[in-house]
Amino acid sequence: KNQVEQSPQSLIILEGKNCTLQCNYTVSPFSNLRWYKQDTGRGPVSLTIMTFSENTKSNGRYTATLDADTKQSSLHITASQLSDSASYICVVTLNYGGSQGNLIFGKGTKLSVKP
Amino acid sequence: GAVVSQHPSWVICKSGTSVKIECRSLDFQATTMFWYRQFPKQSLMLMATSNEGSKATYEQGVEKDKFLINHASLTLSTLTVTSAHPEDSSFYICSASHGDTQYFGPGTRLTVL
């Protein structure tokens, strides 16, 4: 069964601290893995995308890693800011000939950054 | 970057009425758009794939007669929740493909009283 599991479910950190979110997946055939940020009451916004051959991808203070052998990914947030408070969703795309509808969503990690 | 908008951002309606939600790709054309539903603390669940000029493809368990989808142009898809009931209250999100990325709209919060 194609699944994406994220941990932790929720996380509270102090402003300025770093944190790492985890994503494990059992999805086949694999096309790519994305991390999205979803603010409360808003749609998801893409942070990073990685294909099978990519190990790491950065976007400002966000750094994503991918280990295709163990089927694990992580999202590291550096020097957190209050505006980083959101849900972070790991999404794996199935490789079905280019269809963009075959997305498997994790349930997300709800991050709260406190002053 | 590519922008997807939704209208309205929130709507409250009485049980039994119908509600239409619009999804627009503002600066690109999208032959395919997607409709998702998200319940509190849950992940997005794909409801249907909307194809311009043809019938939508619904996921298993989604009633096509209840959730009417029309993709009349390359920049507009609409979702109509017919005869809405309180259990239809949810956050509805659309997305559109542009290149290798799926861009999501800001979502529509539907509350059925």
Rounded Cα distance between A73 and A22, Å, is: 6
Partner A contacted by B69 (CB < 8 A): no
Residue A62 has pLDDT above 90, yes or no: yes
Whether B61 contacts B37, CB under 8 Å: no
The tens digit of pLDDT for each residue in B65-80 reads 999 999 888 999 999 9
B interface mutation test: which of A49, A51, A100, A109 has the most B CBs within 10 A? A100
Q: Looking at CA atoms only, how far is residue B62 from chain A in angstroms? A: 15
pLDDT of residue A99: 47
pLDDT of residue A89: 96
The reply to whether residue A100 touches residue B6, judged by beta carbons under 8 angstroms, is: no
Which A residues in the span 34-63 are in contact with B, Cβ-Cβ below 8 Å?
Answer: 36, 41-46, 49
Q: Among B4, B102, B105, select the one facing A103 at the smallest CB separation.
A: B102
The tens digit of pLDDT for each residue in A87-99 reads 999 999 887 654 4
Q: Looking at CA atoms only, how far is residue B18 from chain A in angstroms? A: 22
Rounded Cα distance between A71 and A23, Å, is: 8
Find residue B111's DSSP bridge partners.
Answer: B12
Find residue A16's DSSP bridge partners.
Answer: none
pLDDT of residue A101: 58
Residues of chain B with pLDDT under 70: 1
Residue A59 has pLDDT above 90, yes or no: yes
A interface mutation test: which of B102, B108, B111 has the most A CBs within 10 A? B102
Residue where the block lists tokens 């979803």:
A38
- Which residues, in sequence order, are CB contacts of A69 under 8 Å at separation 6+? none
Of the candidates A62, A64, A84, A63, the one whose C-alpha atom is nearest the C-alpha of residue A73 is A64
Half-sphere exposure (CA, 13 Å, Cβ side) for B36?
A: 25
Helix (H, G, I), strand (E, B) or coil at B88: helix
Q: Looking at CA atoms only, how far is residue A69 from chain B in angstroms? A: 23
pLDDT of residue B102: 83
- Which residues, in sequence order, are CB contacts of B48 under 8 Å at separation 6+? B34, B35, B56, B57, B58, B59, B62, B64, B67, B69
Mean pLDDT of all residues in A19-31: 92
For B10, nearest residue in chain A (alpha carbons): A41
**With pLDDT > 70 as the criterion, what percentage of chain A qualifies?**
95
For B33, nearest residue in chain A (alpha carbons): A101
Rounded Cα distance between B71 and B25, Å, is: 12
